[in-house]
Amino acid sequence: MTPSTGGLRLHHPIGPSAGVVSRGLRGSDRLPSAGRIICTWRRHRLTVAATAEKSPKDLLLDEDRGSLLSRQRKVDELLDTVKWDDKGLAVAIVQHVDTGAILMQGFANRDALATTISSRKATFYSRSRSKLWTKGETSSNFINVCDIFLDCDRDSIIYLGKPDGPTCHTGSETCYFSSVSQELESSDQVKGNELAASTLYSLESTISKRKAELDQSGSGKPSWTKKLLLSSVLLCKKIREEADELCRTLEDNEDKTRTASEMADVLYHAMVLLAVRDVKMENVLEILRQRFSQSGIEEKQSRARN
């Protein structure tokens, strides 16, 4: 028997619950409610039928589109939180992901930041040309962005990335190579050529200079660094000695300052070995970064396979 409500026939595909709902309604309420049930059910049947007709590939594409739309909404919401200046710009600084060096500074607008997020290439807004530009689009020295940071006031940006080559148009690794202290202390009006480097990279630079001086004839007693560079036997002996002394600070429960001092010795001598082998500290830190998402056990197993 087909239940009826005010001339509107409710067909069984709606399910038994429809009859219960219809019988539970009173007066004029019954017709609109029944109509809503039929419409809802028909829309559901059409959706199920349309979904059933789609191939697995189409379903995956729909899922991808949904993910993209969701991500785009998140990007838009993030861009809304940036405090752009009255010209719609914010300072964008590029920092080397491994060395920590400040490479360059430019300006970004909403589109530039959005492009950087999607392309993972450092993109800026040119105030002189009034257009977007991507670092490396003419030189091929792109900056591959690993992450992006906003400051506490959300009015300046850091692109944390890895450059494909020199960042500065002069051919320098960084645009910051003019030391104010050097210029003030020098009597000559010459441009400085000291890269803005941390303690670790200042040490590496000094070791590199000593290595370059080995081919130069000169009088006087050679420095300790030069002695180490000239004798692999002496260098390896010192690394083993310093590593053992570092371990003893733990075994003998020595003062923390002693541990720091011995670690400094290990690091210095190891960096001399890197210079002998023409390996940069940047290469070491890059490998460490790549291992962040890998357990020590997995890393050792990968070494055995290779």
Of 146, 148, 141, whose CA–CA distance to 167 is shortest? 141
Output b/e per residue, 104-136; b: 16+ Cβ within 10 A: bebbbbbebbbbbbeebbbbbbeeeeeebebbb
Q: pLDDT tens digits, residue range 177-232?
A: 888 887 888 766 555 556 777 888 889 989 999 999 998 766 678 899 999 999 99
71-92: per-residue pLDDT in tens? Answer: 899 999 999 999 999 999 999 9
Q: Can you tell me the distance from the alpha carbon of 107 to that of 296, in angstroms, rounded to the nearest whole number? A: 40
Domain 198-305 has CATH 1.10.287.1080: yes
**Long-range contacts made by residues 20-23, C-beta under 8 angstroms, separation at least 24?**
none
CATH number 3.40.640.10 is the correct assignment for the domain at 84-197: no
Residue 42 pLDDT greater than 70, yes or no: no
Letter for the amino acid at 24? Answer: G
Tokens 């290990």 belong to residue: 266
Q: What is the pLDDT of residue 215?
A: 80
Give the mean model confidence (pLDDT) for residues 19-48. 47
Could you report the per-residue pLDDT of 221-240, keeping only the tens digit for each?
889 999 999 999 999 999 99
- Report pTM: 0.66
How far is C-alpha 301 from the chain's CA centre? 26
Amino acid found at 139: S
